Structure 1
């Protein structure tokens, strides 16, 4: 029996409309007791989490990740629904909106260690900006404590005992601010739709943004794009993670190591935005030689990212690094600031990127360009407030995301 394979055609194609970078869950970010401790993690437990999709579509499918698990991930039941009130971070769902999710026609899946599973397509129309509730039940749980998550969700999820995958209201739910196992949502979108993938650190992940507010800079960029008919079909895949670096593993694999999984293997990616490098500068020694080396290595790494993305016909846009004077990354001799300026000079004038997003110009204090504008500073002189993230979103030229048609 031949299987039916969907291929991109005039009817549409699959695009990534929401993503969360998979990470190895640190001990402090594991589910609280009794969901982790003795025995498998999340045994006979329900996980309900909400995500806001960007571009909409007529069908959806999910990506579940066991990228960092050392044992198989047995998922017993998966459902999707619309959350009560259409709001992020709520545990209740709208009556009548629940749909079962299957994998090769089966209601369950066992995701091998290091792998991911993509669900079967599901007929559920999602308008742009819809908040989706995804619920998982794990009957047996996952053995060991190496599980895959995205700790910096800035969105409230819920853990509950037993199989409550179809419950409209969860009983005995415990709130947590992490996403577990869910790494992507894809939609079947119109032919002109495409995805902007973003590689970044905590500034893209949204540290300083409002929990359940969806006001990270990628969120606010999406809100701006969908108001313009020329860019209304642009989806955004936010692959930022707090503490991430370009050159070396930190919190999560380095950008060079995760590029294939987090960008090149995602559906429908036409553009890549690179806004990362501050953590590389900040964690290298604050000597002149060390900072010169890390700046040179960052520039070489950007060139690698550009080369690999261009091989997949993806346009690559480089964002300048924002100021951090006064933060824990600052140094008295100014060597890290000199390295930041050197990196930004190459991003602007080196000719490697297809276009430049000047976040440094958007966020810096005109009176002291080494520092953030006070109103944009969340308080640690490194991360931005929602107003600061709005400034970054406004600095992204929408013209770069208008697809040229023959």
Structure 2
């Protein structure tokens, strides 16, 4: 999910200097693909950029050891990326660009490394990124898109400009899109280990299932209003319906709407009603594109500050929303993430063994539990 980079998440100096970002620098990033296939292409985004994005050169390669978050690539594996036959791309403000197909055949679940060089840099600190990468990227001065290593590289745990790696998959493969917030984005998972619950779900289903995963979540995201990134209703067409090959959608979003609304009974009644109306909008819009929509119940936040409130109005809103998800009959299926994550002895709270420690987010075992709550049968037929 592309979003506007917050000032604290911009590339550090000297890679951001006087309004100029990554001038004369190489940016190396690694991404895990789910589907395997015969060819692939790179999608770059300047959706929130304040100036054109001038990519001078780019490459895709295999990382050393096949691991995410490393700065080295296997010698001889770098493939130059072209855009309409040219080795460069100037991405206009608000636009995205898709590369020409590369003759590189990734295995299912493999990691690829994308290197970009910006000779002139982006002349604005309004930069498109995905801060919650849970993956280490590297910055280095000079053009090193084909180099096996980056000298004196600076690590940053963010993705910049990269929006997708699209694989020409085998017939029968289809996309599962995920709409969510930090729980789905991977908060609490292990950096560079790809153990977010969507990754765990892909691993559990296995490549033979023919399910490619497109994680379109972001920490702090909300369903109704903008938060960190546009609200899910506002970004739904771009981040879900515009993707190639989407057949299924899981929606796990709404906790941040409840947690940021005033903790009064009228306000929480209203936010619960608005969330239900938003789910219905997503269902109608997805069904118009023949996409099946699966509703995820909202996980507990009892004990979290500031989301939990002494009077329990926010918990009442969560229960109202979850009751509608389970019994409303509008979703094509229900995935009970609440049941998978809650403490049976204290249902308002997360199970302690799954709690990251803030009583809102999940640790790696919690991500495993959410992945285990998704029935494999939802992706057959």
Which interval holds the TM-score relative to the shorter structure?
Answer: over 0.9
Structure 1 counterpart of 2:322: 344
The alignment status of 1:214 with 2:180, answered yes or no, reads: no
Counterpart of 1:164 (choices 136, 144, 148) is 144
Aligned partner of residue 108 in structure 2, secondary structure: coil
The answer to whether residue 207 in structure 2 is matched with residue 244 in structure 1 is no
1:299 aligns with 2:276: yes
Deviation at 1:70, TM superposition (A): 2.0
Q: For the structure 1 residues 39 and 289, does the alpha-carbon distance in structure 2 shift closer, same or farther, using more than 3 Å as the test?
A: closer
Aligned residue number for residue 302 of structure 2: 325
Partner of 1:279: 256
State the Cα deviation string for residues 1-26 of structure 1 (Å, max 9, x = none).
Answer: xxxxxxxxxxxxxxxxxxxx101000
Q: What's the offset of the Cα at 1:214?
A: 0.5
Q: Secondary structure at the match of 2:104?
A: strand
* Structure 2 Cα separation of the partners of residues 26 and 301 of structure 1: 27
How is 1:6-405 mapped onto 2 (pairs within 5 angstroms)?
21-226=1-206, 229=208, 231=209, 233-328=210-305, 329-402=307-380, 404=381
Q: Secondary structure of the equivalent of 2:347?
A: strand
Deviations 1:285-316 (A, max 9, x none): 00000000000000000000011111111000
Q: What is the CA deviation profile of residues 147-175 of structure 1, one whole-angstrom value per residue up to 9, with x for unaligned ones?
A: 10000001000000011111101012000
Structure 2 partner of 1:9: none
CA offsets per residue over residues 182-215 of structure 1, 9 Å max, x none?
A: 0001111112000000000000001111010111
In structure 1, the gaps of 5 or more residues are 1-20
TM-superposed deviation, 1:144: 1.2
For 2:326 and 2:298, the matched residues in 1 are separated by 11
1:241-288 Cα distance to aligned partner (Å, 9 max, x none): 000000000100000000011000001110111000000000000000
How much does 1:39 deviate? 4.5
Question: How big is the shift at 1:95?
Answer: 1.0
Which stretches of structure 1, 4 residues or more, deviate above 4 A after TM superposition? Answer: none
CA contact (8 A) 2:19 2:125 kept: no
**Deviation digits for residues 290-346 of structure 1 (CA, Å, limit 9, x no counterpart):** 000000000000000011111111000000000000001100000000000000001
Deviations, residues 194-240 of structure 1 (Å, cap 9, x unaligned): 0000000000001111010111000000000116x3x1x10000011
Label 1:39 to 1:294 Cα distance change in 2 as closer, same or farther (>3 A).
Answer: closer
CA distance in 2, matches of 1:37, 1:331: 43
CA distance in 2, matches of 1:110, 1:276: 34
> d(CA) in 1 for partners of 2:91 and 2:79?
21
- The alpha carbon displacement at 1:380 in A equals 0.2
Number of corresponding residues: 380
Paired residue for 1:16? none
